[in-house]
Amino acid sequence: MHFFYDAVTRIENHAITRWKQSGKKVVGYTCSYVPPEIFHAAGILPVRLRGIETDGMEIGDAYFGPFICSFPKCLLQQAGKGEFSFLDGVLIIPGCDAMRRLDECWRKAGEDHQGIVPTWFEYFDVPHKSEVHGMNWFVQEIRNLIERIERQFGVSVTGTALRESIREYNRGRRLLKTVETLRAEKNVRVSGTDVFSATIAGTVLPREEYTRQLEKWLEDLSGRDPLEGEKKRLMVIGSIADEIDLFQLIENGTDAVVVAENLCFGVRYEGNEIPVNGDPILSLARHYLETSVCPRMFGKYKQRLALLREKIERAGVEGVILQNIRFCDLHGSENGLFQRDLEAEGIPCLRLEREYGPLKETGRIKLRIDAFLEQIA
């Protein structure tokens, strides 16, 4: 776990530093709709951007204002301070309106803070529906992205290279499926904090290195003894979360363990492999658009609720924590629907509104979690 914890607690971890020192390129991206296989096939390290290690909000507040999600504000804060200077490019995705505005705010901040906008600073659009018209658009967006990558970095992203990258990422998906099977056992042998750290690490590490470490960790897990004491089995869902602090608040010093989650950085698509036959671009488009369970997508609430029910039943979940970052209308609204439908089925739920980064209120959140655990028999 030391390897994974280094990756998830630092913006520029040691693996990224080694990658840069070898003369290779690194590109940051902001959303799970981006197929990282494309960058992998180009020999570029794709790094999911995170706002961890933020210690102030003076830059983010200046360009975003007060009434907006604190996650993109933390990203802008870190960009303005030069914490993303190791990046050779950035790809912005409109996961929501706040993230869409990150594109224009980052560009504007670049006029006042020289050097914080990489030479390659691009926008990748994503439809809000996956039907035929939306899928055709998304396929073309992927093709356009590949052309821009080839032109900027002087590389060639071939169909053969894409298929090999898909195979490599599929290996990781199979390993994560095994991890999910282990954590769903009656006698839990791994904490939710460890699992969450391992999954986040996959978004910021060179893929082959990550897969090797994941295999070693899985071998270790298979031989572990169960966690001590009776544990209340929880699930965490909602807004983007990439800080292990939230899971530590839930598990450290309590009789609870997180056995499932449905988070943007977590294990959502375990075992959902991408076909390597046929057109790899179409296969990537279908995987990243059609299987999405993000509330930004129209008409898929029943699909998202069914996924939660399946995970709850499989992992024996006894309570669900529905968290959202303040001003996150997408998850804040949908969490209310989830609470209504899950509690109607007898599943206890706790709704938490929180801040991301330096504004987070750990004391208040800890009190509410402890009170919730007391309600679970």
Please provide the distance, in angstroms rounded to a whole number, between the alpha carbons at the two ends of the chain: 32
Residues 6 or more apart whose CB falls under 8 angstroms from that of 254 comprise 232, 369, 370, 373
* Exposed / middle / buried, residue 96 (Cβ in 10 Å: 0-12, 13-18, 19+): buried
Cβ-contact 121, 106 below 8 angstroms: yes
Report the SS3 class of residue 45: strand
Does residue 167 have a pLDDT over 80? yes
Measuring CA to CA, which residue among 233, 237, 196 is closest to residue 339? Answer: 237
The pLDDT assigned to 250 comes to 96
Beta-bridge partners for 261 = 236
Q: What is the pLDDT of residue 65?
A: 86
- Find where tokens 């914490």 sit: 83
Maximum Cα–Cα distance for the chain, whole Å?
60
236-240, 280-284, 292-296, 331-335: which has the minimum mean pLDDT? 292-296
The pLDDT of residue 136 is: 97
Region 135-161: mean pLDDT is 98
What pLDDT does residue 271 have?
65
Answer yes or no: is pLDDT of 10 > 90. Answer: yes
Segments of 186-262 assigned E as strands: 232-238, 256-262
Write down the pLDDT at residue 1. 86
User: Do the beta carbons of residue 291 and residue 270 sit within 8 Å?
Assistant: no
Q: And the tokens for 19?
A: 């990658």
| CA neighbor of 162 nearest in space, from 19, 20, 285, 32 | 285
Question: Going by DSSP bridges, is the β-strand pair 256-262/232-238 parallel, antiparallel, or unpaired?
Answer: parallel
Task: Tell me the pLDDT tens digit for each residue of 170-221.
Answer: 999 999 999 999 999 999 999 999 999 999 999 999 999 999 999 999 999 9
Beta bridge partners of 232: 256
Rounded alpha-carbon distances, angstroms, from residue 64 to 101, 128, 284, 327: 8, 24, 33, 13
Q: Find, among 2, 31, 287, 88, the residue nearest to 169 by Cα.
A: 287
What is the secondary structure of 311-361 as a DSSP string? Answer: HHHHHT--EEEEEEETT-HHHHHHHHHHHHHHHTTT--EEEEEE--GGG--
Asked if residue 269 has pLDDT above 90, the reply is: no
pLDDT at 359: 79
Whether the CB-CB separation of 90 and 47 falls below 8 Å is answered with: no
Is the pLDDT at 42 greater than 70? The verdict is yes
Per-residue pLDDT reduced to its tens digit, 48-101: 999 999 999 999 999 998 899 999 999 999 999 999 999 999 999 999 999 999
Q: What is the pLDDT of residue 229?
A: 87
Quote the mean pLDDT of the chain: 94
Domains of the chain: 14-148 (3.40.50.11890)
User: Residues, the chain, total?
Assistant: 377
What pTM was computed for the model? Answer: 0.95
What tokens does 271 get?
Answer: 């075992």
